[in-house]
Every structure is written in C-alpha cells, then in structure tokens.
C-alpha cells in the first residue's frame, strides 16, 4: 500500500499550566495552519527552547495536552546540547530537559524533550486491511531520483480519528531528499 509522507518539523505541545505560565493567565492559542492528524494546528505562537549549547525558536502545536512535550530533530537536539531520546510521542519518562521561554515567563522542563520515533498513523480499517497491529513496526520505502531509502522501525499507531500517513522528522526527510506530501510504500 502507498502512503503519504508528512514531514514533522520541531514543535512543542503545551499543557494548560505551562501555556499560562508562558503566555499569561487565560491565554488562548491562535491556530495558523491546520494539520490532518487529530484536529491539530500549528499556531502563530512561538517559544524559545534553551539548552546547554544554545537556543532556537519553535512553534506551538494545538490542542493542549496533559503534559508538555518538545519534539526536536536529532540535529536540533545536538545543536542545543540536549539529550533527547528517540521515543513515541507521550513516552516522556526520563526524556530530555530544557528551558522554555515565552512572552510572559519561563518554564524549566525537567523532562519532556524527545526526538519523535518515525511512525505510521493508520485508521483501524487500513490497519485491518494490511494486517498491521498497533505498536507493530514496519518499513516504509521512498523512491527518489538520487536518494531512495527504506525507513525501518516505523511504529504503527492505530486510532479511529487517524488519517493514514507516515510521519518523518526533518532530518529523516532530508536524508532521503523528500518534501511534504511525498509518497512511500509500506513494506511488511
């Protein structure tokens, strides 16, 4: 089966408490660009992420979550000097730390910085058709003129409100020389 590839650049998901510490009490995020998964949106708001070696500005993605999570590419983490393990989103125990700075305050994040594990979002119907179980790892092949690549260890994430697509970070996309909305082929 062919699948659309979506490139996920660095971003932060905030919890309500951290939103208010960084942007002010009662603040509401301003969605700028809708994303296909789970009614998410890249917001107009940016935060500064500070690590031992530097800082960078990254966008906030809505909606709010139970826990704040910063997702970086490996090259971002290295540039900032942050130890960010490769993890499935939400698996934050023992993950990297950083300082988040917003217009109204700052938050010392003791854990919550990860490099998102490459993953394949699937509807339950598509997962059943392919015989893929939640959490199973597959491979996704991308064909390009000069840098065709097979990505291994792509974890399947199955949910009723999913849009079937494969998420890669910017480092992975650059390695294959692909852009957003490229097509890949799921290999079992």
pLDDT at 141: 98
* Token representation of residue 123: 């509807």
Residue 118 has a pLDDT of: 97
* Pair of tokens at residue 135: 């959490």
Instruction: Identify the pLDDT of residue 39.
Output: 86
59 exposure class (CB count in 10 Å sphere: 0-12, 13-18, 19+) = middle
Spans of all domains in the chain: 9-116, 119-187
Torsion sign over Cα 84, 50, 112, 9:
negative
- Does the domain at 119-187 match CATH 3.60.21? Answer given as no
Q: What is the pLDDT of residue 180?
A: 83
**pLDDT, tens digit, 9 for 90 and up, residues 10-23:** 999 999 999 999 99
Tell me the per-residue pLDDT of 133-156, one tens digit each, with 9 for 90 and over: 999 999 999 999 999 999 999 999
Structure confidence at residue 185 (pLDDT): 97
**Residue 103 has what pLDDT?**
98
What's residue 89's pLDDT?
94
**pLDDT less than 50: residues of the chain:** none
pTM of the model: 0.94
Give pLDDT, residue 42: 97
Contact 14, 60 (CB under 8 A): yes
pLDDT of residue 179: 87
pLDDT for 113 equals 98
What pLDDT sits at residue 123? 96
Both structure tokens of 73: 């590419």
């Amino acid at each position: 089966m062919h699948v659309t590839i979506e490139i996920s650049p660095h971003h932060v998901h905030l919890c309500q408490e951290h939103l208010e510490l960084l942007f002010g009490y009662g603040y509401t995020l301003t969605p700028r660009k809708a994303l296909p998964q789970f009614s998410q949106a890249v917001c107009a708001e940016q935060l500064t992420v500070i690590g031992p070696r530097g800082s960078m500005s990254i966008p906030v993605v809505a909606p709010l979550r139970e826990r704040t999570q910063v997702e970086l590419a490996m090259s971002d983490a290295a540039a900032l000097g942050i130890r960010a393990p490769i993890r499935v989103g939400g698996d934050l125990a023992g993950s990297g730390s950083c300082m988040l700075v917003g217009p109204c305050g700052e938050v010392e994040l003791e854990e919550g910085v990860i490099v998102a594990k490459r993953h394949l979002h699937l509807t339950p119907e598509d997962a059943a058709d392919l015989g893929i179980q939640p959490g199973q790892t597959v491979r996704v092949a991308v064909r390009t003129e000069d840098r065709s690549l097979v990505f291994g260890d792509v974890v399947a994430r199955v949910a009723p409100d999913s849009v079937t697509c494969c998420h890669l970070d910017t480092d992975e996309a650059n390695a294959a020389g692909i852009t957003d909305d490229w097509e890949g082929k799921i290999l079992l």
